[in-house]
Amino acid sequence: MTKEQKQEVIELLKGKFAQYNNFYITDTESLTVAQVSKLRSVCFDKQVEMKVAKNTLIKKALESLDAEKYAGVYDALNNVTALMFSENPKDPALIISSFRTESKSERPILKAAFINGDIYVGDDQLKALTKIKTKNELIGEVIGLLQSPAQRVIAALLEKANKEGGETAPAAEAAPAE
pLDDT the model gives residue 63 = 92
Rounded CA-CA distance 51/81 in Å is 9
Whether this prediction's pTM lies above 0.85 is answered by no
pLDDT the model gives residue 112 = 93
Dump strand ranges (E) for 12-165. 22-27, 49-52, 82-86, 109-115, 118-121
pLDDT over 70 at 171, yes or no? no
- Rounded to an integer, the average pLDDT of 163-173 is 56
- End-to-end C-alpha distance for the chain, whole angstroms: 97
Give the model's confidence band at 178: pLDDT under 50 very low, under 70 low, under 90 confident, else very high. Answer: very low
Q: Tens digit of pLDDT for each residue in 82-120?
A: 999 999 889 999 999 999 999 888 889 999 999 988 899
